[in-house]
């Protein structure tokens, strides 16, 4: 694996980030409205003021993450908003670059022995797929790059055997968006108990720390307000890309939140069935299943991609599908599969070009109305499952051809 590819992508992403920052500054659009929520919210936390249920910055700027996560932004409040905003901007830009580096390493682990002549075009194509999300993330100063980086870091550390460290990273991610805990299902299936232990320790520790600092009663109240803020945001946000919304649109029935819960159950069942199917195939070849890194990576990528499909949130959360997108793109370039290439091209039209600035208000609003990103993400999940299955078959066939010692 060439390190020069990592350096190239870091340079490309930094140049894009610097260029966008310059344009934002010149045009007076350096708003970072999401970061402003964290910045002003951390000031309110420091001053003992209310942090949930009140707007920070814009009227819609309600803080909805954990109080412990907000405490991490306290150092930013020592600086003025613009200075701290620029520092934060480069933190999330470097987080994006790190996502590419770790994703690439995980894909090389998945496709063991894979050789691709030119990787940079694949990674640039992957960047184009998430181009709209990248722009919005940097423009708003959101936290989804950091969220994805933490989850990839969890996978990376766990595969290296640093289970507890991986669990701590997972716990930090859960403090940002608790529904990421859905992926604990993969840890349970893989019997990564030490990683789960790390997750539990971090979540309990942050609660106990707050209880020591502000008292148990206030700590309980502020965490209860956090949970309420999560449900209020999900109930009020009309993202139009999760399964519940798609059912509402295409069945022409009234919106029913029951489908949100059913979609979570369905996603869990899919992950379990994939795991069981692979386990049976591997056991038939007398291979120790639980140590198999390849299916662990596939299940992790699939679960990440499922999060924005089963939970109602903003479109930037579909960044979580990026590792799965790269997994598919690498397979297409390696196998030169025309049908998969055409499929990904069609997906790109709806997933990557879902921007009013690119396609105009008429087409952009139509994409939003029909849930184009959500539908595209379902196809990305399906293609990832197909490629995972192809890998299972190829690996099992290779094992069948191995000589047996008697």
Diameter of the chain by CA atoms?
75
Is residue 228 over pLDDT 60?
A: yes
Q: 31 in helix, strand or coil? A: coil
The reported pLDDT for the residue numbered 137 is 94
CA–CA gap between residue 326 and residue 122 (Å, rounded): 8
Percent of the chain past pLDDT 90, that is, above it, reads 54
For 192-201, what is the mean pLDDT? Answer: 96
As separate numbers, helices (DSSP H) first and strands (DSSP E) second, the chain gives 18, 0
Q: Which of 294, 358, 297 shows the shortest CA–CA distance to 131?
A: 358
Is residue 402 over pLDDT 60?
A: no
For 359-382, the DSSP string reads HHHHHHHHHHHHTHHHHHHHHHHH
Do 148 and 304 contact (CB within 8 A), yes or no?
Answer: yes
Is residue 302 over pLDDT 50?
A: yes
Q: Look at 32-46, 216-230, 277-291, 343-357 and tell me which has the smallest mean pLDDT.
A: 277-291
Is residue 16 over pLDDT 90?
A: yes
Do 88 and 291 contact (CB within 8 A), yes or no?
Answer: no
For 242-308, the DSSP string reads SHHHHHHHHHT----THHHHHHHHHHHHHHHHHHHHHHHHHHHTT--GGG-HHHHHHHHHHHHHHHH
Q: pLDDT higher for 244 or 173?
A: 173
| 59-99 pLDDT, tens digit each | 778 888 899 999 999 999 999 999 999 999 999 999 999 99
52's tokens: 């949930």
282's tokens: 């591997």
The reported pLDDT for the residue numbered 230 is 82
Instruction: Please state the φ and ψ torsions of residue 354, each to the nearest 5 degrees.
Output: -80, 70
The residues that bridge with 62 in the sheet, in sequence order, are 55
The winner for highest mean pLDDT among 32-36, 337-341, 362-366 is 32-36
Q: Which of 105, 96, 107 shows the shortest CA–CA distance to 142?
A: 96
Is residue 236 over pLDDT 80?
A: no
The pLDDT mean for the chain works out to: 87
The reported pLDDT for the residue numbered 400 is 46
Q: Look at 111-125, 226-240, 289-303 and tell me which has the smallest mean pLDDT.
A: 226-240
């Amino acid at each position: 694996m060439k390190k020069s590819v990592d350096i190239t992508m870091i340079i490309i992403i930094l140049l894009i980030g610097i260029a966008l920052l310059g344009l934002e500054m010149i045009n007076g659009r350096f708003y970072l409205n999401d970061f402003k929520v964290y910045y002003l919210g951390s000031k309110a936390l420091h001053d003992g003021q209310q942090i949930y249920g009140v707007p920070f910055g814009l009227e819609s700027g309600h803080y909805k993450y954990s109080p412990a996560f907000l405490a991490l932004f306290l150092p930013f409040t020592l600086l003025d908003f613009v200075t701290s905003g620029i520092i934060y901007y480069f933190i999330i830009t470097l987080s994006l670059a790190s996502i590419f580096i770790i994703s690439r390493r995980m894909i090389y682990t998945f496709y063991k022995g894979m050789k691709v002549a030119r990787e940079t075009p694949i990674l640039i194509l992957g960047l184009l797929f998430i181009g709209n999300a990248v722009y919005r993330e940097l423009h708003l100063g959101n936290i989804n790059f950091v969220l994805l980086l933490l989850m990839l870091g969890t996978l990376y550390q766990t595969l290296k055997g640093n289970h507890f460290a991986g669990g701590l990273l997972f716990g930090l991610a859960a403090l940002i968006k608790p529904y990421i805990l859905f992926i604990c299902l993969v840890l349970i299936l893989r019997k990564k108990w030490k990683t789960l232990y790390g997750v539990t320790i971090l979540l309990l520790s942050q609660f106990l720390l707050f209880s020591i600092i502000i008292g148990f009663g206030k700590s309980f109240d502020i965490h209860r307000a956090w949970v309420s803020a999560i449900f209020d945001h999900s109930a009020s946000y009309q993202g139009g890309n999760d399964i519940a919304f798609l059912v509402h649109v295409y069945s022409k029935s009234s919106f029913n939140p029951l489908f949100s819960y059913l979609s979570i159950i369905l996603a869990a069942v899919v992950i379990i069935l994939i795991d069981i199917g692979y386990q049976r195939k591997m056991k038939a070849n007398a291979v120790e299943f639980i140590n198999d890194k390849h299916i662990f990576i596939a299940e992790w990528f699939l679960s990440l991609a499922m999060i924005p499909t089963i939970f109602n949130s903003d479109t930037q959360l579909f960044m979580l599908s990026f590792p799965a997108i790269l997994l598919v793109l690498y397979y297409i370039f390696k196998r030169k599969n025309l049908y998969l290439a055409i499929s990904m091209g069609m997906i790109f039209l709806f997933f990557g070009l879902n921007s009013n600035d690119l396609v105009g208000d008429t087409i952009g609003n139509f994409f939003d109305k029909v849930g184009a990103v959500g539908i595209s993400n379902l196809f990305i999940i399906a293609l990832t499952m197909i490629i995972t299955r192809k890998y299972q078959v190829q690996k099992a066939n290779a094992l069948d051809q191995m000589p047996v010692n008697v």
